[in-house]
């Protein structure tokens, strides 16, 4: 590896010695009489005589020595050794291989007692190695445990402790990988995407060009032990150049970097830069250890250096792509060519075919330009002309050096470079719909690990083994996508009423989630939707899922019965009789009455009896709920004249039965409020009344203020005035009070001018106008009186006045300004003769408190939102739900009332085949009993009857197999027709604006699987569709063969989970 000519004198050490030691006569035949032990010299003894016998050689080889001879001999040995080492690197090869061979690690079970972690370096940061301790701490706090971890050797620990990066054989590619439960890849973000698989795959012409540019002494076969991390001639030149520039303003000089040290710099130095002499030494030492780790001979290591360099050198960022690393990704991004095409083209670099030669010449020039763009990629991306000129310069240099043929040189010189990024989709570019499950997993992990973005997450060196069933998910995803095709709809018989006979099928968004229940937890098997956006319909939406809310209502109803049973079943008959007379809420009264007549009943019996309680389905009743009077309708008009048991109403999804059932539940929850509602409503002087009324005033007042703020915010005072004036007929008093409210500082003259614009009939009555100005001063009138005079809600006037004085005022500031004046607006409510109006508003507040308690029970069962709509319509879906949350409730029921954790990640594997390798798995978790097992089993039975004889009869026995026991399917259907409705004073519908339409089927299969299917259309066009829950039930029927093939035939063998 060393330039031999620089050391030609050392090849003749004896000649130098003879020239330098000319006065010294060296004789190997005669004895030196001055030698110690000679005759006549003190110290002569018989013992010394043997030295004489050995002759002249002993004078040089055996002690005692002459001082000059000792020096010359040492010098000869030293120079010879240095010469040998500089030419062969034999000594350092032995030494460094010995050291590096002890820098090892081994994957062992459990947490490692000694683990190395790099502290800096672009590659280490990008792959997440530097943050691994933080990641592990977070994951362990969230229920994961370390299954196995790399144990570093003591020598490797010492190396890292001394400030060096860990030495190991680095892999060329890494990135996020998501695998399903059969280890089938679901998502891969491997970077670089395009690499050369091995050294032999790199075109030789590209290798020669790289070495010519960067490191010309690599792959020299004369020096098998050479250390390619250090070239002494280049080091000496760089040192000399640097010393000559000391003290000068521009002290930049050529460096002595080799490919090996450049790799260390790019990947493991802070910021990818050499910032000090110490950093350069770190690079050299680390590169040397890495080179000699496998073998003393380095030719193979040199090839690996070239391969690593080609596959990893940085090329900056590219718009829409991100950071580019490696020749292959650079070639694809800058010129739209993959490495396979380059290999093919350069294989014809000696062809006589002009067309093939032209391809080879252009491809070579493009590849060469990437090698040259390394140091300034951002600059060259902006200036292709500069890169073209530099590439042309090197084409000439390579040709002059005999590396490149003249033919290829000339083709390159006459072919300008052009950026031609590929328009072909990347292998990782798939639709958002295809990535829904993995997007959910990635998003959850990004938030959990506190990684800045999904882009950063994708670059982590981690693989995640999930519970997903990719094969089944692909089939279901394909089926859902086909539902947008009219031909497929016709072929499958879906072009029918209540299915897909109306509206554009391509506008319907479908989603499905399915879990498998195991003793370890609920394993996510399928999660997909057809929305081609990152938004996840299953876990991110808030949707009116219609009558599926009856499932939550039924569970709450049975829990109330259980609660009352536990309270009263030990009471004696006399006490029950007394309580039965005093109790006002229907559910408590029924339980007490039942216990009084059946004192030996148990929980199972009373729950069965509760399911047989009967309600009318008549829609001819007005219900006071949600702050007003409402009416409701049944989906099936034939139900209107019937009386149903709760059980039957659940099977047939009868709305009015569940409206009345929810009313009973609200009365129960109201009765257990600490405020004693019956006394509050009966006693006009009850102190709690005023508290509830003040709560109502604050709540309704804020609602009005928010509504008016959104209307008037951003309007000028003149625009606000015009809006107020144009709201109906205006009298002189209303015009006057509005003017003085909008312009509180207006003077009489300006008032008169503006007043006459709206009331021109007063043009000849200036005295009346002036009188109005004096009498309508807002400071002299309460806010409610101002509103009365203006025929405008007083809070609307207050909002307009506030924004006139504070154009940039916030909603919060408006609330604060209005807080002290709400009493003026609602002063009428506190009159003694307003008890009926007070009772209505107290009832509103008590209903809200009751729904707060219901919400607390629903949240315990996975309800995802912070509140319920305080209306009886919550029983039929008005409070909305989330598909994944409803599926979670089904999982609780399938597991006999026990909430088990949802498991998506079965293993997280960081940094495979590195000293940082760590595997984590979920720790065993125990379930939480959130529903009484008896209730859960009863509800499961009713869900199965919904399929056997209710609204989901279409899928009865759809999974029948050869077993004598049929596969039980249960479920609940729901249709949500969300509309914005307006009624007149007689509650007659006068406007219905479509908002969305949904259809849902939440299901369970045996006690093993559960999930949910939804179909949804958003926006005004939802009014064009008439599909109902029959659609998702039919979809379940279509995908049933996939489920049967995957899980319900003897040949379906599942991996252990």
pLDDT tens by residue, 782-804: 888 888 888 889 899 889 888 88
Instruction: Sort strands 902-903 and 522-529 into parallel, antiparallel or unpaired.
Output: parallel
The tokens describing 965, both together, are 């026991």
The top-scoring range by mean pLDDT among 40-49, 233-242, 554-563, 918-927 is 554-563
DSSP of 18-39: HHHTTTS---SSSPPTTSTT-T
Beta carbons of 795 and 825 less than 8 angstroms apart: yes
Give tens-digit pLDDT for 680-710.
Answer: 887 777 888 888 888 889 988 999 999 999 9
pLDDT at 728 exceeding the cut of 50: yes
Non-local (6+) Cβ contacts of 134 within 8 A are 449, 450
pLDDT bin (cut points 50, 70, 90) of residue 533 is confident
What is the mean pLDDT of the segment spanning 847-876? 95
Burial class (CB in 10 A: 0-12, 13-18, 19+), 600: exposed
pLDDT at 167 exceeding the cut of 80: yes
Lowest mean pLDDT among 425-439, 562-576, 962-976: 425-439
The SS3 of residue 793 is coil
In angstroms, the CA 591 to CA 594 distance is 5
pLDDT at 612 exceeding the cut of 90: yes
What is the mean pLDDT of the segment spanning 522-540? 86
Lowest mean pLDDT among 26-40, 527-541, 811-825: 26-40
pLDDT at 742 exceeding the cut of 70: yes
pLDDT bin (cut points 50, 70, 90) of residue 12 is very low
- For residue 7, whether the previous peptide bond is cis, meaning omega lies within 30 degrees of 0, is no
The tokens describing 1050, both together, are 């003897």
Identify the pLDDT of residue 22. Answer: 44
pLDDT at 766 exceeding the cut of 70: yes
Topology of the domain covering 468-530+932-1057: Beta-Lactamase (3.30.450)
Return the DSSP state at 192. Answer: S
DSSP of 980-1046: EEEE-TT--EEEEEEEEEEEEEEEEETTTEEEEEEEEEESGGGGG----THHHHHHHHHHHHHHHHH
Which alpha helices (H) appear in 483-585, and where do they start and end? 486-491, 537-540, 549-568, 573-582
pLDDT bin (cut points 50, 70, 90) of residue 1057 is very low
- For residue 799, which of 817, 782, 786 has the smallest C-alpha distance? 817
Give tens-digit pLDDT for 661-677.
Answer: 999 999 999 999 887 77
pLDDT at 8 exceeding the cut of 90: no
pLDDT at 57 exceeding the cut of 70: no
pLDDT at 204 exceeding the cut of 70: yes
Identify the pLDDT of residue 990. Answer: 67
pLDDT at 56 exceeding the cut of 80: no
Beta carbons of 1009 and 526 less than 8 angstroms apart: no
Non-local (6+) Cβ contacts of 1052 within 8 A are 1045, 1046
- Between the CA of residue 992 and those of 114, 621, 656, 989, 1020, what are the distances in Å? 69, 21, 21, 7, 10
Return the DSSP state at 200. Answer: G
Identify the pLDDT of residue 679. Answer: 80
Kindly report the average pLDDT of the chain as a whole number: 86
The tokens describing 197, both together, are 């698989």
- Between the CA of residue 440 and those of 427, 492, 685, what are the distances in Å? 20, 31, 56
Non-local (6+) Cβ contacts of 248 within 8 A are none
- pLDDT above 70 covers a percentage of the chain that reads 87
What is the mean pLDDT of the segment spanning 711-735? 86
Identify the pLDDT of residue 777. Answer: 84
pLDDT at 84 exceeding the cut of 80: no
Task: Classify residue 723 as left (phi > 0), alpha (psi -120 to 50) or beta.
Answer: alpha
| pTM > 0.85: yes or no | no
What is the mean pLDDT of the segment spanning 334-346? 93
Beta carbons of 515 and 1009 less than 8 angstroms apart: yes
pLDDT bin (cut points 50, 70, 90) of residue 257 is confident
pLDDT bin (cut points 50, 70, 90) of residue 495 is very high
Return the DSSP state at 92. Answer: H
Beta carbons of 952 and 548 less than 8 angstroms apart: no
DSSP of 120-186: --HHHHHTTSTTHHHHHHHHHHTTEEEEEEEEE-HHHHHHHHTTPPPP----S-B--EEE-TTS-EE
Identify the pLDDT of residue 235. Answer: 59
pLDDT bin (cut points 50, 70, 90) of residue 247 is low
What is the mean pLDDT of the segment spanning 1046-1053? 56
Q: Which residue has the tokens 């083209």?
A: 345
Characterize 280-317 residue by residue with b for buried, 16 or more Cβ atoms within 10 angstroms of its Cβ, and e for exposed: bebbbbbbbbbbbbebbebbebbbbbbbbbbbbbbbbe
Selected residue with higher pLDDT from 772 and 413: 413
Handedness of CA 263, 266, 268, 270 (dihedral sign): positive
Q: How far is CA 172 from the centre of its chain?
A: 25
Identify the pLDDT of residue 11. Answer: 37
pLDDT bin (cut points 50, 70, 90) of residue 196 is very high
Beta carbons of 1027 and 499 less than 8 angstroms apart: yes
In angstroms, the CA 194 to CA 171 distance is 14
Identify the pLDDT of residue 877. Answer: 92
Element (H, E) at 758: helix 748-758
Non-local (6+) Cβ contacts of 293 within 8 A are 97, 100, 101, 103, 167, 168, 169
Residue ranges covered by each domain of the chain:
4-88, 468-530+932-1057, 549-672+865-876, 688-829
């Amino acid at each position: 590896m060393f330039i031999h000519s620089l050391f030609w004198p050392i090849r003749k050490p004896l000649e130098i010695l003879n020239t330098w030691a000319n006065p010294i006569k060296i004789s190997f035949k005669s004895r030196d009489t001055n030698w110690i032990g000679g005759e006549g010299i003190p110290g002569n003894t018989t013992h010394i005589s043997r030295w004489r016998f050995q002759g002249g050689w002993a004078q040089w080889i055996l002690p005692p020595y002459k001082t000059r001879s000792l020096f010359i001999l040492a010098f000869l040995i030293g120079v010879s050794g240095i010469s040998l080492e500089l030419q062969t690197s034999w000594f350092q090869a032995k030494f460094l291989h010995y050291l590096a061979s002890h820098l090892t690690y081994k994957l062992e079970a459990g947490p490692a007692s000694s683990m190395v972690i790099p502290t800096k370096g672009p590659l280490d940061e990008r792959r997440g190695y530097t943050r691994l301790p933080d990641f592990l701490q977070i994951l362990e706090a969230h229920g994961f445990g370390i299954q196995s971890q790399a144990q570093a050797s003591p020598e490797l620990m010492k190396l890292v402790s001394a400030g060096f990066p860990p030495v190991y054989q680095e892999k060329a590619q890494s990135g996020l990988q998501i695998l399903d439960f059969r280890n089938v890849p679901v998502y891969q973000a491997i970077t670089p995407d395009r690499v050369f698989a091995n050294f032999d795959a790199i075109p030789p012409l590209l290798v020669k060009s790289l070495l010519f540019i960067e490191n010309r002494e690599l792959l020299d076969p004369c020096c098998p032990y050479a250390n390619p991390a250090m070239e002494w001639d280049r080091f000496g030149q760089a040192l000399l150049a640097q010393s000559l520039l000391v003290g000068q303003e521009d002290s930049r000089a050529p460096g002595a970097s080799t490919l090996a040290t450049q790799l260390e710099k790019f990947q493991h130095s802070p910021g990818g830069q050499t910032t000090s002499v110490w950093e350069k030494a770190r690079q050299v030492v680390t590169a040397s250890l890495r080179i000699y780790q496998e073998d003393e001979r380095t030719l193979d290591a040199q090839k690996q250096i070239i391969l690593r360099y080609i596959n990893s050198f940085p090329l900056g960022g590219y718009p829409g792509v991100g950071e580019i690393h490696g020749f292959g990704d650079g070639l694809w991004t800058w010129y739209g060519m993959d490495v396979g095409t380059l290999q093919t083209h350069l294989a014809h670099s000696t062809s006589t075919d002009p067309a093939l030669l032209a391809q080879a010449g252009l491809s070579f020039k493009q590849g060469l330009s990437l090698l040259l763009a390394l140091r300034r990629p951002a600059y060259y991306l902006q200036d292709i002309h500069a890169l073209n000129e530099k590439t042309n310069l090197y084409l000439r240099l390579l040709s002059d050096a005999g590396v490149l043929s003249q033919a290829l040189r000339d083709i390159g010189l006459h072919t300008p470079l052009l950026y031609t990024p590929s328009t072909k989709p990347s292998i990782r570019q798939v639709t958002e719909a295809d990535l829904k499950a993995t997007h959910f997993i990635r998003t959850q992990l990004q938030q959990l690990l506190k990684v800045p973005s999904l882009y950063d997450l994708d670059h982590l060196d981690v693989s995640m083994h999930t519970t997903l069933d990719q094969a089944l998910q692909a089939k279901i995803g394909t089926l859902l996508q086909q539902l947008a095709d009219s031909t497929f709809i016709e072929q499958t018989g879906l072009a029918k009423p209540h299915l897909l006979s109306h509206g554009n099928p391509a506008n319907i968004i479908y989603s499905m989630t399915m879990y498998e229940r195991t003793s370890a937890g609920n394993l996510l098997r399928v999660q997909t939707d057809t929305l081609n956006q990152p938004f996840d319909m299953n876990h991110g939406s808030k949707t009116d899922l219609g009558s599926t809310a009856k499932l939550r209502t039924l569970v709450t109803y049975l829990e109330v019965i259980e609660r009352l049973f536990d309270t009263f079943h030990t009471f004696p008959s006399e006490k029950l009789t007394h309580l039965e007379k005093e109790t006002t809420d229907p559910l408590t009264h029924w339980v007490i009455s039942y216990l009084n007549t059946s004192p030996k009943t148990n929980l199972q019996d009373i729950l069965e009896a509760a399911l047989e309680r009967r309600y009318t389905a008549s829609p001819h009743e007005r219900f006071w709920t949600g702050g007003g009077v409402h009416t409701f309708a049944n989906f099936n008009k034939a139900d209107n004249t019937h009386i149903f048991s709760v059980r039957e109403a659940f099977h047939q999804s009868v709305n009015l039965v569940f409206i009345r059932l929810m009313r009973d539940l609200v009365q129960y929850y109201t009765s257990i409020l600490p405020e004693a509602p019956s006394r509050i409503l009966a006693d006009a002087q009850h102190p709690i009344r005023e508290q509830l009324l003040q709560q109502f005033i604050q709540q309704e007042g804020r609602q009005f203020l928010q509504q008016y703020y959104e209307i008037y915010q951003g309007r000028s005072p003149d625009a606000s005035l015009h809006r107020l004036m144009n709201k109906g007929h205006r009298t002189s008093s209303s015009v006057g009070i509005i003017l003085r409210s909008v312009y509180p500082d207006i003077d009489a003259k300006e008032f008169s001018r503006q007043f006459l614009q709206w009331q021109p009939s007063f043009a000849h009555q200036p005295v009346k106008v002036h009188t109005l100005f004096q009498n309508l001063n807002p400071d002299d009138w309460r806010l409610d009186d101002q509103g009365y005079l203006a025929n405008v809600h007083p809070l609307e006037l207050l909002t307009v006045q506030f924004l006139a004085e504070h154009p940039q005022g916030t909603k919060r500031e408006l609330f604060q300004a209005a807080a002290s004046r709400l009493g003026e607006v609602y002063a009428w409510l506190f009159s003694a003769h307003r008890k009926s109006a007070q009772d209505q508003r107290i009832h509103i507040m008590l209903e809200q408190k009751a729904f707060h308690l219901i919400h607390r029970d629903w949240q315990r069962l996975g309800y995802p939102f912070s509140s319920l709509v305080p209306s009886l319509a919550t029983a039929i879906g008005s409070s909305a739900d989330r598909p994944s949350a409803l599926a979670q409730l089904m999982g609780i029921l399938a597991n006999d009332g026990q909430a088990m954790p949802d498991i998506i990640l079965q293993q997280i594997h960081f940094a495979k085949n590195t000293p940082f390798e760590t595997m984590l798995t979920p720790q065993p978790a125990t379930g939480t009993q959130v529903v009484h097992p008896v209730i859960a089993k009863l509800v499961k039975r009713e869900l199965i009857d919904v399929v056997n004889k209710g609204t989901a009869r279409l899928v009865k026995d759809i999974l029948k197999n050869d077993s004598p026991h049929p596969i039980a399917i249960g479920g609940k259907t729901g249709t949500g027709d969300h509309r914005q409705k307006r009624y007149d004073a007689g509650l007659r519908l006068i406007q219905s604006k479509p908002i969305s339409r949904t259809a849902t089927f939440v299901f369970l299969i045996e006690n093993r699987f559960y999930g949910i299917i939804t179909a949804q259309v958003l926006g005004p066009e939802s009014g064009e569709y008439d599909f109902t829950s029959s659609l998702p039930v039919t979809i379940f029927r279509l995908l049933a063969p996939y489920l049967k093939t995957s899980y319900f035939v003897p040949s379906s063998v599942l991996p252990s989970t």
